[in-house]
Amino acid sequence: MATTCDYCHGRKGKRSCPALNGLICSTCCGENRLTKIACPADCPYLEAGTDYQRQRVGELFRQDRRRVYREILEIGGEKAAGLFNLIEIVCFSYFHNKPSGLDGEVVAALEFIRRLLSPIHFPAPTVPAFSQYLHKEFKAFLEKEKVDLEQAQQVVDLALTLVKEFSGTGLRSNRFLTGLIGCLTMDHPDVVAHLKTQETDQPRIVLAGEGEIAGAAKEQAQREKSRIVIPGAPAPAHDHEHHGHKH
């Protein structure tokens, strides 16, 4: 009948589910929201921004994040990884206390940067706040670290693909942001604590001095002073896996 849960087709569907465009039982909703169901960010059952939600999605995101880091390290080594990390950190800083933030804002910002990196520039009539913020930080990093432009393009392309794939097809998704915030909170609590004390209005990149950005950044991250989180740097207490191998 029409009142059966559209997910398990067994129990009674009592909630209206905007992702399934039908009814869902509370068990299926609770177990699968954002992990297996592409919930729009404004669903009233979503509890957006809660630690529990972020943790569940963060665990899924962790695998994708590691894969992308491996690809980026192969393309451009630790400098390229530093650039990708900058994107993550800027997203975290800007959105960790904005539960209404949407993945679409991140996609727009990355596409904005991508256009600026290509040989032909199209002036954008209006630039959203997050795009401006990310661009400011991104540009400062490129100039300071003299990142090869072609590598920078590849990093942005990989970031775009990751965000879009993880976000899913829903136009109002925040699955990427939820996963990113959850993953960084679990794996790099010291860095996250540091970020939360900072304002996001000013560009505030913490850069290593001379030479190898990522090497120095790793050290800094371990001293809880850096915004840079390089994967593979020992996370305190609970991450004993090794990720050094190439697939």
Chain residues that interact with Zn ion, rule: CB under 5 A: 5, 7-8, 11, 25, 28
Cβ atoms 26, 9 nearer than 8 A: no
Q: Pick the closer one to Zn ion by CB: 5 or 19.
A: 5
Q: Pick the closer one to Zn ion by CB: 7 or 69.
A: 7
Kindly state the smallest distance separating residue 25's Cβ from Zn ion, in Å: 3
What is the maximal distance between C-alpha atoms in the chain?
Answer: 68
Kindly state the smallest distance separating residue 44's Cβ from Zn ion, in Å: 18
Q: Pick the closer one to Zn ion by CB: 13 or 231.
A: 13
Residues near 216 by beta carbon (within 8 Å), at least 6 away in sequence? 208, 209
| Interior angle at CA 59, CA 165 and CA 225, nearest 5 | 100
DSSP code, position 148 = -
Query: SS3 sequence, 79-140?
Result: HHHHHHHHHHHHHHHHHCCCCCCCHHHHHHHHHHHHHHHCCCCCCCCCCCHHHHHHHHHHHH
Kindly state the smallest distance separating residue 12's Cβ from Zn ion, in Å: 8
Kindly state the smallest distance separating residue 8's Cβ from Zn ion, in Å: 3
Distances in Å between the Cα of 177 and the Cα atoms of 7, 87, 89, 116, 213 are 25, 12, 11, 24, 26
* Radius of gyration for the chain, computed over Cα atoms and rounded to the nearest angstrom: 19
Q: Pick the closer one to Zn ion by CB: 28 or 117.
A: 28
Kindly state the smallest distance separating residue 36's Cβ from Zn ion, in Å: 12
Kindly state the smallest distance separating residue 38's Cβ from Zn ion, in Å: 16
Cβ atoms 176, 71 nearer than 8 A: no
Tell me which residue of 95, 77, 89, 195 sits closest to 145, measured CA to CA: 77
Q: Pick the closer one to Zn ion by CB: 8 or 127.
A: 8
Kindly state the smallest distance separating residue 106's Cβ from Zn ion, in Å: 31
Q: Pick the closer one to Zn ion by CB: 7 or 61.
A: 7
Cβ neighbour number for residue 230 with a 10 Å cutoff:
23
Tell me which residue of 243, 192, 240, 185 sits closest to 56, measured CA to CA: 185
